[in-house]
Amino acid sequence: MSDAALASIEFLEADAWSHRLDALDDAAKRSLRSSVRRFGRAVALATPGADVAVVNRAFGLGWERPLDADLLAAVNGFYRETGAPRWLVELSPHAAVVGGREMLITHGGVQKTPTVKLRGELRDATPVDIGALPAVREVGREAAKAFCEIVGSAFGIPQVVEPDLVSTLGHPDWHYYMAYDGERPIAGAAMFVQGDGAWFGVAGTSADARHRGAQTALLARRLADAKRLGCSWVTAETAPDTTEQPNPSYRNMLRAGLRVAYLREKYVFEHPQGRAAPES
């Protein structure tokens, strides 16, 4: 895979997440104290109002310019200014880092379990027989409450963060879907389309409806819609699939034709006091 293709995976996700935080309503922004800072096309997301890793992290670094000690200090300085108690710096293994990964550890980073980044070419997508799977519908703002309840519970995120799940619901670049058992919604997922790429995310299933093929059906629908909308490739991410911690999402994506592009490294940093800085 070319460097340009690898970088596009990072930048598409960066645009999707920054869009989500930017689209929060004023009440949610106040509760989360959310902010987004760009470092070129890389992005740093901060929500010091909620100590949740997925919305307190920086990624896409090391592509437009190497990640060096000065750039890392600027990223960490941003988080300390926001009062975030801890945050992640995530790196593609192909990103350029001056001094190697030891540089992040020297400056306080603690390495954590990586994220699996996947990419699929739509010409290679595996057809799925959806006849026996739950029905999938694209949804609008009317489904926001149900979507939050299902996906938020699946992620185990605090209620204060739930507005982020649906902040872009109804935006023309975003497509939200729910899978149904009859008329009961049992799962949800979203897709962000930009240029010839689509990012798949925000996917979760009700605990009592798992193993019925809902996420397989949602993947199939998004793949079909991405192709219809002119995309040539898609990307997604998930946790590793291990014997100790099996991950059905990982296997679903492989069956749908996505392939592992790389394991994205994660380093956690903490505020020097180990807690949020006092607000001035």
List, in order, residues 6 or more apart from 5 with CB less than 8 Å away. Answer: 119, 233
Q: Are residues 164 and 71 in the same domain?
A: no
Q: What predicted TM-score, i.e. pTM, was given to this entire model?
A: 0.93
Q: Which residue has the higher pLDDT, 126 or 63?
A: 63
Q: Which two tokens stand for residue 174?
A: 């975003």
279 occurs within a structural domain:
no
276 occurs within a structural domain:
no
What is the C-alpha separation between 265 and 93, in angstroms, rounded? 7
Q: Are residues 157 and 50 in the same domain?
A: no
**CATH code at position 178:** 3.40.630.30
Residue 29 pLDDT exceeds 90: yes
Each residue's pLDDT tens digit, 57-86: 999 999 999 999 999 999 999 999 999 999
* DSSP symbol at 143: G
Each residue's pLDDT tens digit, 206-251: 989 888 899 999 999 999 999 999 999 999 999 999 999 999 999 9
Q: Are residues 144 and 246 in the same domain?
A: yes
Phi, psi for 72 (deg, rounded to 5): -60, -40
Distance from chain centroid for Cα 147: 16
Q: Are residues 94 and 137 in the same domain?
A: no
Q: Are residues 109 and 151 in the same domain?
A: no
Each residue's pLDDT tens digit, 142-154: 999 999 999 999 8
Q: Which residues pair with 191 in a beta bridge?
A: 175, 200
List the domain range (segments joined by +) for residue 258.
Answer: 122-262
Q: Are residues 210 and 173 in the same domain?
A: yes
What is the C-alpha separation between 215 and 234, in angstroms, rounded? 16
What is the C-alpha separation between 175 and 173, in angstroms, rounded? 7
Q: Are residues 68 and 86 in the same domain?
A: yes
Domain count, the chain: 2
List helix spans (H) across the chain: 3-22, 26-32, 69-82, 102-106, 144-155, 162-166, 214-228, 248-255
Q: Are residues 110 and 130 in the same domain?
A: no
Residue 45 pLDDT exceeds 80: yes
What is the C-alpha separation between 277 and 137, in angstroms, rounded? 44
What mean pLDDT, rounded, does the chain reach? 93
Query: How many CB atoms are closer than 10 A to CB 110?
Result: 12
List, in order, residues 6 or more apart from 102 with CB less than 8 Å away. Answer: none
69 contacts 48 by C-beta, under 8 angstroms = no
Phi, psi for 213 (deg, rounded to 5): 90, 10
Distance from chain centroid for Cα 11: 12
Q: Are residues 225 and 100 in the same domain?
A: no
What is the C-alpha separation between 49 and 250, in angstroms, rounded? 30
User: What pLDDT does residue 276 have?
Assistant: 41
277 occurs within a structural domain:
no
Residue 279 pLDDT exceeds 70: no
231 occurs within a structural domain:
yes
Q: What is the mean pLDDT of residues 23-34?
A: 96
User: What pLDDT does residue 124 have?
Assistant: 77
What is the C-alpha separation between 191 and 229, in angstroms, rounded? 12
Query: How many CB atoms are closer than 10 A to CB 247?
Result: 14
